[in-house]
Amino acid sequence: MGSQEEGYSPKAKPSLSRRLRVAATLLALLFFSLVGFVIDHAYQVSLLNAVESRLQAHIYTLLTLAEVDESGVYIPDALAETRFNQFDSGLYAFVLNEKAEPVWKSKSSVLLDHIGLFNVKRNAREFVQLDLPDAMYNSLGQGILWQDLNGDEIPLTLWVLEDSSYYKGPLIQFRWILWSGLILVAILLHFGLWALMYWALIPLNDLARDVRRIESGALDALSSNYPRELRNVSQAFNMMVAHERQQIDRYKLTLADLAHSLKTPLSVIKALVEQNGKVDPEAANDINHQINRMNQSVSYHLKRPVHQRALSKQNRVLLSPCVYRVLNALSKVYSDKNVELKVDIDETLVFPGAEDDLFELLGNLLENGFKYGQSKLSVFAHENKVDDDRYEFEFYVDDDGPGIPLEKRRLILKRGVRLDSQEEGQGLGLALVKDILQNYSTKLEIGDSPLGGARFKIKFSYVPLA
């Protein structure tokens, strides 16, 4: 319906403990992920090195058994490594000539053909992974130059292949142990860090609790029993509180002096009005009404305690009788306007604050409606249950006056500012409303009224008294 007086309120930032928990969790996840990948890679490399060493040992064994003559390469059919002798055992051996054609292969390699083996340079080794459609093999090739009995040199390449399942099996098992162990350690460390942070933040929570107790009036100052890092903060806070109390005391003395200087003249004026029979009775009633309002206003500001916010929030005042009382008084003052009043307030509805605050709010808001409205004034209030232990109280005042332009709604809440200089007043009413509402952690919202003028809205969130 309208814009809020103070602009937007920035979204509350996460608590310090939540920030630390999130940061610690993310840091732990990053750390253990990096550690896991590093260990996994290192184990994978070491496992491949072990496979290569094992295949190299098989090549050396084949070289000790091999004999080469004009008819070809001879290696015994029965080898010490039984997997070479078993069909499709997962361990295979080949000897290639200079044309990369197999001149010998183990019994286990009967069905392996066209697997992409190639010649390797003399005295060189090639460790590769052959990825075939049906399987993958870790393979090691050794290039040699063999001399037969006639002294002729014969270039050969020995290949030993091993099914990658012999490599993947231990790798999968190791990965399961590694990551399950890291996850377990990460969970334990996570809860350990949370417990450590909770313990480390206890002094901050104690400080926040003591500040709330000072705010409620249960404590005068912060103690000095905080860790060294927080002592300067507590000392500075105590100095600020002491300074504020000194200022409040000076303001109270100033108000007391003002009240003393006003009460005597007001009493004299009231006595003269009552004694002078020539004054019109209706005019005398109006003068008495204004004098009483001045007395009440002075008394109200003198009685406002230092900790008004906490004390007033413990009170509950029936709203409807107070509204009608203020409306009746203002109807007499502005009787020449013949304002049509509409009140929609449940008789059981209560104001979640002090009675003095309520009368000050009603007096300023309703008088503003009488003063600037044309002929209609509407007052409406209701409450909503937000959850099991919290309610929202909303109060509206609508008039049919000229309204308040959007760009001037902040301006009129400042002290001494008035949009209409022809009306009586000092421009303090709405500023006082704003000050009172700040004690309740809420604010005045100004918008457009359904009646065509201005709408003033107050919204409280409160917990019902037990």
Question: Looking at residue 110, what is its pLDDT?
Answer: 82
How high is the pLDDT of residue 464? 65
Query: Region 74-101: what's the mean pLDDT?
Result: 87
State yes or no: pLDDT of 264 exceeds 90: no
What is the bridge-based pairing of β-strands 153-163 and 136-147? antiparallel
What is the rounded CA–CA span in Å between residue 238 and residue 246? 12
pLDDT score at 274: 65
Query: Tokens at residue 124, please?
Result: 């060189």
Q: Which residue has the higher pLDDT, 225 or 92?
A: 92
Categorize the per-residue pLDDT at 3 as very low, low, confident or very high, splitting at 50, 70 and 90.
very low
Residue 433, classified by CB atoms within 10 Å of its CB into exposed (0-12), middle (13-18) or buried (19+), is buried
SS3 344: strand
**Is 304 in a helix, a strand, or coil?**
coil
Higher pLDDT: 271 or 346? It is 346
φ, ψ (nearest 5 deg) of residue 278: -75, -15
**pLDDT score recorded for residue 322:** 92
Query: What pLDDT is stored for residue 56 in this prediction?
Result: 93
Strands (E), 107-219: 125-131, 136-147, 153-163
Residue 98 has pLDDT above 90, yes or no: no
Angle of helix 319-333 versus helix 281-303 axis, rounded to 10: 140
Please give the residue that has the higher pLDDT: either 259 or 378.
378
Give me the long-range contacts of 172-177 (CB less than 8 A, separation at least 24): 174/40, 174/43, 174/47, 175/40
Distance in angstroms (rounded) separating the CA atoms of residues 110 and 358: 101
The yes-or-no verdict on residue 278 having pLDDT over 90 is no
Q: What is the pLDDT of residue 239?
A: 87
Selected residue with higher pLDDT from 152 and 243: 243
**Average pLDDT in the chain:** 81
Please tell me the distance from the alpha carbon of residue 223 to that of residue 309, in angstroms, as a whole number.
Answer: 23
Residues 127-171: tens digit of each pLDDT: 998 888 778 899 999 998 887 667 678 888 999 999 988 888 889
Q: Quick one: average pLDDT of 55-72?
A: 83
Q: List, for residues 347-372, the tens digit of each pLDDT value.
A: 888 888 888 888 888 988 998 889 88
State the average pLDDT over residues 423-429: 54
CA 313 to chain CA mean position, Å: 28
Write the single-letter amino acid at 157.
Answer: T
Q: How far apart are the first and last CA of the chain?
A: 34
At 400 the pLDDT is 92
CATH H superfamily, domain 307-462 = Histidine kinase-like ATPase, C-terminal domain (3.30.565.10)
- Residue 5 pLDDT class (50, 70, 90 cuts): very low
Please state the rounded mean pLDDT for residues 308-326. 71
Residue 70: per-residue pLDDT: 65
**Greatest mean pLDDT among 56-60, 195-199, 237-241:** 56-60
Whether pLDDT at 430 is above 80: yes
Domain layout of the chain by residue ranges: 14-200, 307-462
